[in-house]
Amino acid sequence: MAIPSHSETLRAVAAAHLVELCTKFPLGYTPELVWRGYRVTAGLAYYRKGVIGLSSRVLREEQAVLDTLTHEYAHLLAVARHGNRAAGHGPAWQQAMADLGQEAKVRHNYEVERNVPRQTVVYTCKKCGAHINRSRRLPRRRKYMHAACGGEIRLLKIERITSSEADA
């Protein structure tokens, strides 16, 4: 018999906790639990679909899974009790969190995977020759002025960053 992986264990914990929440605080339906590759968001509640999305990247510990699932279930509970006007983190959601025995905390502080820059876009000022480095290209067909001297800036080059450079 194979030993369950860490992610399988967390999925089982989430499924059991969802059954517990549905039993104690029924919604009139059982939400579907889906695991997504969210990089920064721990979870999302999809009101109209009756789905709770949990991050397979952010949620690495059992307590984080339990807290996030409770948070998202509170969203569905608030909407089930008060309609679509209860969407968000307002009083209806805060009451649902209190009923579920949790602090009404809006943001998590879990370690997340931030975007790494893939390029450096270099602009040059036609007047003073200064170089301006950005991570994204400015929208085209517009004129941009250098804040320091008032000269027009133009795209000079786009430098691709390899994954080994980004890690350094």
Residue 107 located in a structural domain: no
Q: Provide CB contacts within 8 A for 13, sequence distance 6+.
A: 62, 65, 66
Q: Residues 21-70: pLDDT tens digits?
A: 999 999 999 999 999 988 889 999 999 999 999 999 999 999 999 999 99
CATH at 16: 3.30.2010.10
Residue 158 located in a structural domain: yes
* DSSP 8-state class, residue 124: E
**Are residue 91 and residue 124 in the same domain, yes or no?**
no
Output phi, psi for 122, to 5 deg.
-110, 125
pLDDT above 70 as % of the chain: 92
Domain count, the chain: 2
Domain boundary among 50, 69, 99: 99
Residue 111 located in a structural domain: no
Does residue 144 carry a pLDDT above 90?
A: yes
Using a 10 angstrom Cβ sphere, with 0-12 exposed, 13-18 middle and 19 or more buried, the burial of residue 77 is buried
Chain centroid to CA 75: 16
**Are residue 71 and residue 124 in the same domain, yes or no?**
no
Range of the domain at 51: 6-99
